[in-house]
Amino acid sequence: MNSDSIYQLLLQVKSGQLTPDKALEQLKDLPFKDLDFAKIDTHRHLRIGYPEVIYCAGKTIEQVVSIVKYKMEKQIDVMATRADQNVYEAIKIIAPSAIYHPVARIITIPLQHGRKINDSVILVITAGTSDIPVAEEAAVTASFFGNTVEKIFDVGVAGIHRLFMHLDRLRGAKVIVAVAGMEGALPGIIAGLVDKPVIAVPTSVGYGSNFEGLSALLTMLNTCAPGVSVVNIDNGFGAGYLASVLNGMH
Amino acid sequence: MNSDSIYQLLLQVKSGQLTPDKALEQLKDLPFKDLDFAKIDTHRHLRIGYPEVIYCAGKTIEQVVSIVKYKMEKQIDVMATRADQNVYEAIKIIAPSAIYHPVARIITIPLQHGRKINDSVILVITAGTSDIPVAEEAAVTASFFGNTVEKIFDVGVAGIHRLFMHLDRLRGAKVIVAVAGMEGALPGIIAGLVDKPVIAVPTSVGYGSNFEGLSALLTMLNTCAPGVSVVNIDNGFGAGYLASVLNGMH
Amino acid sequence: MNSDSIYQLLLQVKSGQLTPDKALEQLKDLPFKDLDFAKIDTHRHLRIGYPEVIYCAGKTIEQVVSIVKYKMEKQIDVMATRADQNVYEAIKIIAPSAIYHPVARIITIPLQHGRKINDSVILVITAGTSDIPVAEEAAVTASFFGNTVEKIFDVGVAGIHRLFMHLDRLRGAKVIVAVAGMEGALPGIIAGLVDKPVIAVPTSVGYGSNFEGLSALLTMLNTCAPGVSVVNIDNGFGAGYLASVLNGMH
Amino acid sequence: MNSDSIYQLLLQVKSGQLTPDKALEQLKDLPFKDLDFAKIDTHRHLRIGYPEVIYCAGKTIEQVVSIVKYKMEKQIDVMATRADQNVYEAIKIIAPSAIYHPVARIITIPLQHGRKINDSVILVITAGTSDIPVAEEAAVTASFFGNTVEKIFDVGVAGIHRLFMHLDRLRGAKVIVAVAGMEGALPGIIAGLVDKPVIAVPTSVGYGSNFEGLSALLTMLNTCAPGVSVVNIDNGFGAGYLASVLNGMH
Amino acid sequence: MNSDSIYQLLLQVKSGQLTPDKALEQLKDLPFKDLDFAKIDTHRHLRIGYPEVIYCAGKTIEQVVSIVKYKMEKQIDVMATRADQNVYEAIKIIAPSAIYHPVARIITIPLQHGRKINDSVILVITAGTSDIPVAEEAAVTASFFGNTVEKIFDVGVAGIHRLFMHLDRLRGAKVIVAVAGMEGALPGIIAGLVDKPVIAVPTSVGYGSNFEGLSALLTMLNTCAPGVSVVNIDNGFGAGYLASVLNGMH
Amino acid sequence: MNSDSIYQLLLQVKSGQLTPDKALEQLKDLPFKDLDFAKIDTHRHLRIGYPEVIYCAGKTIEQVVSIVKYKMEKQIDVMATRADQNVYEAIKIIAPSAIYHPVARIITIPLQHGRKINDSVILVITAGTSDIPVAEEAAVTASFFGNTVEKIFDVGVAGIHRLFMHLDRLRGAKVIVAVAGMEGALPGIIAGLVDKPVIAVPTSVGYGSNFEGLSALLTMLNTCAPGVSVVNIDNGFGAGYLASVLNGMH
Amino acid sequence: MNSDSIYQLLLQVKSGQLTPDKALEQLKDLPFKDLDFAKIDTHRHLRIGYPEVIYCAGKTIEQVVSIVKYKMEKQIDVMATRADQNVYEAIKIIAPSAIYHPVARIITIPLQHGRKINDSVILVITAGTSDIPVAEEAAVTASFFGNTVEKIFDVGVAGIHRLFMHLDRLRGAKVIVAVAGMEGALPGIIAGLVDKPVIAVPTSVGYGSNFEGLSALLTMLNTCAPGVSVVNIDNGFGAGYLASVLNGMH
Amino acid sequence: MNSDSIYQLLLQVKSGQLTPDKALEQLKDLPFKDLDFAKIDTHRHLRIGYPEVIYCAGKTIEQVVSIVKYKMEKQIDVMATRADQNVYEAIKIIAPSAIYHPVARIITIPLQHGRKINDSVILVITAGTSDIPVAEEAAVTASFFGNTVEKIFDVGVAGIHRLFMHLDRLRGAKVIVAVAGMEGALPGIIAGLVDKPVIAVPTSVGYGSNFEGLSALLTMLNTCAPGVSVVNIDNGFGAGYLASVLNGMH
């Protein structure tokens, strides 16, 4: 509700079309409703049919199922992250079309149709094989939001020549999601090679002084190559979402 | 601006006393002003003449002075924390009545009169002599907000009998601010003796594995005596403010 | 044993009703007994029928059961925290009226009657769905201590407009317990909106650099909004207890 | 040197215009130059006249001056970060047109002309007054790279209504750089309000358990609002650079 | 082999009773044997029949059994720490007299007889019920080394009057082992009350910012009460051993 | 591809043997191919028949098996680390000659013959019995790479004379791998005794403030005895590999 | 006031020599005074003439001087730790006999005479030259408390043979204070050589991953050699005090 | 003193040339003296004329000078690390030939002549300009020990092509010392390119979450490229020393 609509409302009050009581009712929640709708307003092209995301960790299966039910009744696409097989079995009962992406641990339920596909490429790239689950979480997320996603796995710095074989694809992408555990040097290397925004995703892959991803996280935050920004450890979803936002910019 | 005043405004629009344009003008900032004034509304008894607090650390003297000037023009009491002597010298030029509390590193400029004094006691207590600056920050803050403040210093657990000599005063207080560095055990001990809310303030006093107050902070967070809550390391102001809020409850 | 009772004892010695030996017996433990009773004395209105709380983690089922037994014989209300289903099964055998609150992981055995209910409201509020177990621990604790508890769940800062929809309830509460994991920003936001004491409870909900609640804990300790105090990570009981103390102040 | 120019070179060899020895001379550094120019190729619009950035911390004044000299001879714009007044004095001798931005601690030497200004807005926003130096580093960086930069300072979560007064400007920006110390909640709040990419910059502003910016850093990494990515503590330059890359995307 | 025995050997060489070759044979390992026996020498009263201690964690059952076998053949008392029921079952086969202390997780096999009992008291004291396993590890260790051990459990600072009821026993002990988790304040309190050496044992009991015993460890290291020394987290054995050494001093 | 071969190529272009198009094709990937072959080139003596190492942790059994299959087809020796019994069972189906080293958790498949054995000794030494698995990982790795490996276990500093008994073997080795958990002092002691390169491997063996190997890691990094370098916690493979490289130097 | 004197008092009440009012007056402070005197009582032999210790860090010169003055009036020996030259100059004005120990940063004022000297030896030993200030703090402390102190400096593990040259003195001491920074292995080595109680003092000497003494602290806490206990980083005073307590045991 | 010399001694006893008392005198210190000489024995080629190294940090100028004096009298080369200009001025008085390396903060006093120069190359390489002081400490150390040292500075991963320009020199070196701050990825990259031992030296260069070198340290420990070992943060001396040992192997 912007100035225009408030003005219309005031005109209606003046003309007697609307009683002050009714008008008050509408204005009362203005501070909050306005915020709410404002957001939808500026992003209508995105939010229409935009999948709602459910973070399953820490939620009971019952809670997840009831959220899914509610969304489905509103005909909203659903994506559930950090979901295990049990959650999927429970959801499939109420949503037979639900798809489980076991590596990404994501459940998707496509209800909407004809979502516009973004042709520019989000490239998801991992340093090692063990980083793939996090990368897949990013890739499935970005795909579901309508993006074209490409993937290159296992090109970490221990054999940096493997990375160079893919320079063309690096250059051809619009946004790069670089996923790495252990020392986490990959995103910095890439940012030094191409001037694309690099979303760095540290993973908890490793052992010893990796300290559950702390090592990779600090590496990425401290990279001297500019153009890198970092999301939380193992946060594939956050990287996929951010990549979608960046890919949608124009 | 609350529901009542909006309703009055709508009635004026309806009756033609106010044009929609004029009304719009008043309503335009509603989402924000409303939030702002709502807060004032529910706390009017506190906010009228309530001193505005300026955190000096990280601000230039020029910035502090210009904020003080602005507040003084609005006849608002001023309190500036983490202020050194230089800041005080600069403020005294524009505010000759400014008072400097060197131990607490606080500057106060009392402009309002007749603030109601709260008779119930906030007791500020320290484990050691070195904790006094933080305790004084709490005490000066609470005093300036109109509270009766009592102080007991240097009764730490190395000689716990010193604490017991003051049991009556502990029992007589409404809120206790317990300030301790090093091992930081004092607040937990007090909370085990009296059922008053104990605001625990860890200080960075100590050395070695004190790690700049981390030791005392963790001790206080982990105390098994319920009734303790913790503020940031060396955060005397925060403790004094919270004590004021608690002391004002009824 | 206060001055009066010591005086009575001395009169009895003087009058010969009590031999010095018997009197000595009673006085001998004075330093400790006195402390004990003093506490009861100042809080008699609370302690009569006040539930004794048992922290089950790290105790064997046998230990918990024998403590419960002892309390029940003394007709004291019992509350056991961090209790799993197995503990409950064992307790139900000796206390058929025991109630298990599975989300809060609390067992309560109400033995006393007619505890005075405090009408002012403690509002327990969570940032996410996953924070509910900790919030329930706080809520069940505060309820059992005779407080009126209201709850608002899942209003975290990712969609702050959800919080604003409840401003009236925030303003209507006397004490607010704000529970949040991940970034833990909720308590600071609330403290910036209303001038109530906000008890901040960090939870270990999250992943990656959340570091088992450290992230939320540090956020809450560092909030620039005054009026916030912090309890330990996941310490719903401590928050519920402290809220009871604050709610009982007048 | 791209494919085209290599092909021209090979044609010259074939035609005898260039001897194999001369051609070898030019090709010799190919593996590296190519990498270098390849990068230029994809970003030609940016790299032409793109200022070279010198990180002064840890370098002697002599080192900085000689790097500046070298760049100036090549007619490249120069930007030097983390520069104090002494560095500036030394540079001004060889570059009288050098400008010192004391709050941002940046020296700029504009040598190129007519750099194309990007009209879409990068909004730099801070939680507190003390975060301004880091914000200015971001703002000066982005400005120098040819972007339109707007700034909003001191709208932190302690009084969140201050932020809401600027919702229109938040919505009007293409990229948001959110700078915050202490609890660091601002970027998450903003990301929950508008669907723009939010570059979060934790600062070392604060005390106690802020631990030199760790608190703000963890908050930002753990925000549940998607669309946020994080750069290093106090890394205004990195944020400004990344914002430039994102602003230039289309 | 001490000076005396070397001198005897040299005399034998001189007198021809021993050839240089034979003497060399005995002297060859001197650097090591000497070190070994030197230790035995100064502590002969202790080492004769002194139980050898096996730390079971990280060892296979086979390894533990074979070490036990070897010791038994040499008629040495055996004590195995961090031993679970499975280890005990395996040991009982070769050592039917083995005793399992399940709370302390210690297996003892008394082979020697008539070990002199030290009459002065080692007092093992815990803050909570959950600290008992660590305390028992200390107590069983000290008992097995021939000391008189007394125990007081569950007298933590949340109700410090409970501690005072035992002041006489605190004063009567020669060495105090104080075991505490959570905030870990108990050892400091005790050291402030009595001038006995206090061996502080932090435990990993607690949750949240306890960080697996770090909180208690730091508290104990930072105690302002002198006379406290600290062993590793949960290191009941180390405390029991050190207490034995101190108790044996005269 | 080095200068010579580029020169040959240019001569061929000049002479017409090669068209510019064909030459361009070969030059295009030069930056990357060159890197790739360069590595093979300089290390041909090593890489031929050099076992490929698969890090199994975080990989599915299917992934490991398919990598093994691929290597076997190329007749390359295979070594798989961090492999459990299940992985071994799956590999044995396609590689009946596979050997499982259960303590080292390594699977080896020797396919090549006649690998040259290096006669100089790599000595792997542990402080405790519990460090053996990490030491075995180092030993199996070094053995498989063709080195002569000797082992001394359980000579930690608690009884340093045990170490001295092996001084000759320490002096006889060319490279020493010293593995220790808990306090991790062993590598520094050894480096103070012999002037051989000491590869220090911290292990996560220990408890309490060992913090999963952090204690041993810091000890080793801070040793005042020069000649020590450190690999990651529990990184037996890394130590074994590095020892091979050092042992192969001449 | 002990049982006897209370009994006398009660007899006086009974006999009428003392009115209940007068008796009450004497008994009133009993809980606290008793604690206080009890301590003195059990340690009378120590406390008479026992120096009071003032921790100067964090205290103003004025505070230190006034504490010293007070003690001197009561004819109590004074020791002030962490004192710099300025504090000494100020104290010398009121206490011309004050002695400054610059390396230990301790001021001592011997007022009492004839303190009994303990003949058994406390041996203070350091790993490096840089650890000497902390060692001197321990040595001066122990000396002032009447102990015979010996010192061996710079015998760290980098050249462990230096330590062995002093085995006789290690064996001859009753208590050993081992001071070490960097890797901090010295106390564990010593505890493995002699069965004396070893008080380990980590120092903040070192750099890099020493992290202000954390490395040495963790090493000492994790030593596998039993008989070691640890005090805070750089806490020479605490070690000297504890050594005095242990040396006084019999 | 080895077996031979003991045998000679025994023969002398047998023959009466040596009394048992005199022989005992010589044998008494055998355990330690033997160790000492043993070390010299195995490394005689190194130790003759080998410079003694003095770590100046934490030592007074007087202490350093007296150590230097002592060494010079014994005609031993001296190297003093972490030495500032003041130390140098003091040393120059007694050693006019002393040379100060200001960037490396090393003082060297070459007294011996004709030290054999090792022709194989130690390559010291840095990621940034700010890492040069640590690199110079390594280079000066290795040079002084008689090695041929080459240096490449400022080839960090932000522009990895700069590194590739030096592949030939990387391949030509026998040992590589790679020095890097911030993200610290350089050593891992190099180890992935060449199969030389890479000594990784993290530096404290950087800011924010670099945490004084922790970031670079963890990166290096976690590198997936084998062949890397790590020394302490900023430990240029340790790296230079280790490189000398490795370079001397054959």
Residue where a domain terminates, one of E79, E109, E139: E109
Do the Cβ atoms of C16 and G14 come within 8 Å? yes
Split at pLDDT 50, 70, 90, the class of C112 is low
Tell me the pLDDT of chain H averaged across its residues: 82
State the Cα angle at G36 between G35 and G42, rounded to 5°.
85
pLDDT > 70 fraction of chain E, expressed in percent and rounded: 82
Between C107 and G155, where is the model more confident? Answer: C107
Q: Which residues of B touch C228 (CB under 8 A)?
A: 231, 238, 242
pLDDT at H20 over 90: no
Q: Which of D4, D6, D10 to mutate to test the interface with F (most CBs of F within 10 A)?
A: D10
Split at pLDDT 50, 70, 90, the class of B131 is very high
**In this complex, which of F183, F209, F226 lies closest to G185 when CB atoms are compared?**
F183
**Minimum mean pLDDT among E81-95, F8-22, G191-205: which range?**
F8-22
Split at pLDDT 50, 70, 90, the class of E34 is very low
pLDDT > 90 fraction of chain B, expressed in percent and rounded: 44
Domain of F243, CATH number, reads 3.40.50.1970
What's the number of domains chain C is made of? 2
Question: What ipTM was estimated for this complex?
Answer: 0.79
Question: What local confidence, expressed as pLDDT, does residue F74 receive?
Answer: 73
Q: Are E89 and E148 in the same domain?
A: no
Question: What local confidence, expressed as pLDDT, does residue B175 receive?
Answer: 96
How does DSSP assign F110-170, residue by residue? --S--PPPEEEEEEEEESSGGGHHHHHHHHHHHHHTTEEEEEE----GGGTHHHHTTHHHH
Question: What is the tens place of the pLDDT at every residue in G103-127?
Answer: 999 999 976 655 566 789 999 999 9
Q: Which residues of F touch A128 (CB under 8 A)?
A: 55, 58
Q: Contact partners of D by the rule of 3+ C-beta pairs under 8 A?
A: A, B, C, F, H
Split at pLDDT 50, 70, 90, the class of B103 is very high
Q: Do chains F and A touch (3 or more CB pairs under 8 A)?
A: yes
Question: What is the tens place of the pLDDT at every residue in A180-235?
Answer: 999 899 999 898 888 789 999 999 988 888 888 999 999 999 987 888 999 999 99
Q: What is the mean pLDDT of residues H175-185?
A: 94
Quick check: is B17 in a domain? no
Q: Which residues of F touch H233 (CB under 8 A)?
A: 221
The domain of F81 spans 31-109
Split at pLDDT 50, 70, 90, the class of G210 is confident
Do the Cβ atoms of G183 and F182 come within 8 Å? no
Both tokens assigned to E137: 């590890």
Q: Which residues of F touch G206 (CB under 8 A)?
A: 222
Q: Are E214 and E145 in the same domain?
A: yes
Question: What local confidence, expressed as pLDDT, does residue G161 receive?
Answer: 66
Q: What letter does residue A78 receive in the DSSP assignment?
A: E
Q: In chain H, which among 187-246 make CB contacts under 8 A with chain A?
A: 188-189, 191-193, 206, 208-211, 214-216, 218-226
Exposure of F209 by Cβ count < 10 A (0-12 exposed, 13-18 middle, 19+ buried)?
buried
Q: Are E88 and E162 in the same domain?
A: no
Question: What local confidence, expressed as pLDDT, does residue B164 receive?
Answer: 75
Q: Which residues of D touch F31 (CB under 8 A)?
A: 30-32, 34-35
Residue where a domain terminates, one of D83, D109, D135: D109
Quick check: is H104 in a domain? yes
Residue where a domain terminates, one of B77, B109, B141: B109
pLDDT at G233 over 60: yes
Do the Cβ atoms of G24 and C3 come within 8 Å? yes
What does the alpha-carbon distance between residue G242 and residue G175 come to, in Å, rounded to a whole number? 10
SS (H, E, C) chain C: CCHHHHHHHHHHHHHCCCCHHHHHHHHHCHHHHHHHHHHHHHCHHHHCCCCEEEECCCCCHHHHHHHHHHHHHCCCCEEEECCCHHHHHHHHHHCCCCEEECCCCEEEECCCCCCCCEEEEEEEEECCHHHHHHHHHHHHHHHHCCEEEEEECCCCHHHCHHHHCCHHHHHHCCEEEEEECCCCCHHHHHHHHCCCCEEEEECCCCCHHHHHHHHHHHHHHCCCCCCEEECCCCCHHHHHHHHHHHHCCC
Q: Are F232 and F180 in the same domain?
A: yes
Q: Which residues of F touch G220 (CB under 8 A)?
A: 183
Q: Which residues of F touch E57 (CB under 8 A)?
A: 130, 207
Do the Cβ atoms of A31 and B27 come within 8 Å? no
Question: What local confidence, expressed as pLDDT, does residue H82 receive?
Answer: 94
Q: Which of G163, G209, G222 to mutate to test the interface with F (most CBs of F within 10 A)?
A: G222
pLDDT at E36 over 60: no
Residues of chain A with pLDDT under 70: 1-5, 25-52, 111-117, 159, 161, 249-250
Q: Which of D7, D8, D11, D13 to mutate to test the interface with F (most CBs of F within 10 A)?
A: D13
Q: Which residues of A touch H214 (CB under 8 A)?
A: 218
Asked whether D204 and D184 are in contact (CB, 8 A), the reply is no
Q: Are F99 and F128 in the same domain?
A: no
Question: What local confidence, expressed as pLDDT, does residue A1 receive?
Answer: 39
Split at pLDDT 50, 70, 90, the class of F106 is very high
State the smallest CA–CA distance between residue D221 and chain F in angstroms: 24
Asked whether B186 and E187 are in contact (CB, 8 A), the reply is no
Question: What local confidence, expressed as pLDDT, does residue C26 receive?
Answer: 67
Split at pLDDT 50, 70, 90, the class of G150 is very high
Q: Are G160 and G204 in the same domain?
A: yes
Q: Are C144 and C49 in the same domain?
A: no
Do the Cβ atoms of A35 and D221 come within 8 Å? no
pLDDT at E30 over 50: no
SS (H, E, C) E142-196: HHHCCEEEEEECCCCHHHCHHHHCCHHHHHHCCEEEEEECCCCCHHHHHHHHCCC
Quick check: is D22 in a domain? no
G175-180/G118-126 β-pairing: parallel
Q: Are F103 and F149 in the same domain?
A: no
Do the Cβ atoms of B24 and A13 come within 8 Å? no
Between F9 and F147, where is the model more confident? Answer: F147
State the Cα angle at H205 between H104 and B233, rounded to 5°.
125
Both tokens assigned to B226: 């319920």
Question: What local confidence, expressed as pLDDT, does residue D27 receive?
Answer: 65
Question: Does B16 contact chain D (CB < 8 Å)?
Answer: no
State the smallest CA–CA distance between residue A43 and chain B in angstroms: 20
Do the Cβ atoms of C185 and D128 come within 8 Å? no
Split at pLDDT 50, 70, 90, the class of E5 is low
pLDDT at F20 over 70: yes
Question: What is the tens place of the pLDDT at every residue in D77-112?
Answer: 889 999 999 999 999 999 999 999 999 999 999 766
Q: Which of E5, E6, E11, E13 to mutate to test the interface with H (most CBs of H within 10 A)?
A: E13
Quick check: is G18 in a domain? no
Question: What local confidence, expressed as pLDDT, does residue D2 receive?
Answer: 44
Q: Are F240 and F133 in the same domain?
A: yes
Both tokens assigned to C27: 């006085």
Do the Cβ atoms of A14 and B13 come within 8 Å? yes
Split at pLDDT 50, 70, 90, the class of F184 is very high
Between D182 and H45, where is the model more confident? Answer: D182
Q: What is the mean pLDDT of residues F158-166?
A: 73
Question: What local confidence, expressed as pLDDT, does residue C84 receive?
Answer: 95
Q: Do chains A and G touch (3 or more CB pairs under 8 A)?
A: no
Quick check: is D178 in a domain? yes
Tell me the pLDDT of chain E averaged across its residues: 82
Q: Are G205 and G185 in the same domain?
A: yes
Between A19 and D139, where is the model more confident? Answer: D139
Question: What is the tens place of the pLDDT at every residue in F46-98?
Answer: 333 445 688 898 888 998 998 888 888 877 788 999 999 999 999 999 999 99
**Sign of torsion over alpha carbons F47, F52, F55, F59:** positive
Question: What is the tens place of the pLDDT at every residue in C3-49?
Answer: 566 778 888 888 888 888 888 766 654 444 344 333 333 333 333 33
Q: Which residues of H touch G209 (CB under 8 A)?
A: 213-214, 217, 232-233
Q: Are G149 and G232 in the same domain?
A: yes
Quick check: is D213 in a domain? yes
**Minimum mean pLDDT among B218-227, E148-157, G16-25: which range?**
G16-25
Q: What is the mean pLDDT of residues B123-148?
A: 94
What does the alpha-carbon distance between residue D126 and residue H228 come to, in Å, rounded to a whole number? 42
**Minimum mean pLDDT among D48-52, D107-111, G194-198: which range?**
D48-52
Taking alpha carbons only, the member of D77, D98, D51, D69 closest to residue D241 is D51
Q: Which residues of C touch B35 (CB under 8 A)?
A: 164, 193
**In this complex, which of B188, B208, B209 lies closest to E183 when CB atoms are compared?**
B188
Split at pLDDT 50, 70, 90, the class of G179 is very high
Do the Cβ atoms of F214 and A209 come within 8 Å? yes
Question: What local confidence, expressed as pLDDT, does residue C7 receive?
Answer: 79
**Minimum mean pLDDT among C79-88, E51-60, H58-67: which range?**
E51-60
**In this complex, which of A46, A222, A226 lies closest to D195 when CB atoms are compared?**
A46
Do the Cβ atoms of D222 and C214 come within 8 Å? no
Do the Cβ atoms of H217 and G210 come within 8 Å? no
Q: Which residues of A touch D227 (CB under 8 A)?
A: 241-242, 245
- Closest residue in D to H182 (Cα) is D232
Question: What local confidence, expressed as pLDDT, does residue C28 receive?
Answer: 52
Question: Does E2 contact chain H (CB < 8 Å)?
Answer: no
Quick check: is F37 in a domain? yes
pTM: 0.83
State the smallest CA–CA distance between residue C209 and chain G in angstroms: 21
pLDDT at D56 over 70: yes
Do the Cβ atoms of E42 and G194 come within 8 Å? yes
Question: What local confidence, expressed as pLDDT, does residue F166 receive?
Answer: 81
Question: What local confidence, expressed as pLDDT, does residue H35 receive?
Answer: 40
pLDDT at D136 over 70: yes
What does the alpha-carbon distance between residue C213 and residue G204 come to, in Å, rounded to a whole number? 29
Q: Are B73 and B128 in the same domain?
A: no
Question: Does B164 contact chain E (CB < 8 Å)?
Answer: no
What does the alpha-carbon distance between residue A68 and residue A92 come to, in Å, rounded to a whole number? 11
Q: Which residues of D touch H156 (CB under 8 A)?
A: none
Asked whether G111 and G72 are in contact (CB, 8 A), the reply is yes
Quick check: is G92 in a domain? yes
State the smallest CA–CA distance between residue D58 and chain H in angstroms: 5
pLDDT at C2 over 80: no
Question: Does C83 contact chain E (CB < 8 Å)?
Answer: no
Q: What is the mean pLDDT of residues E8-25?
A: 83
For G224, the 3-state DSSP assignment is coil
Asked whether E162 and E135 are in contact (CB, 8 A), the reply is no
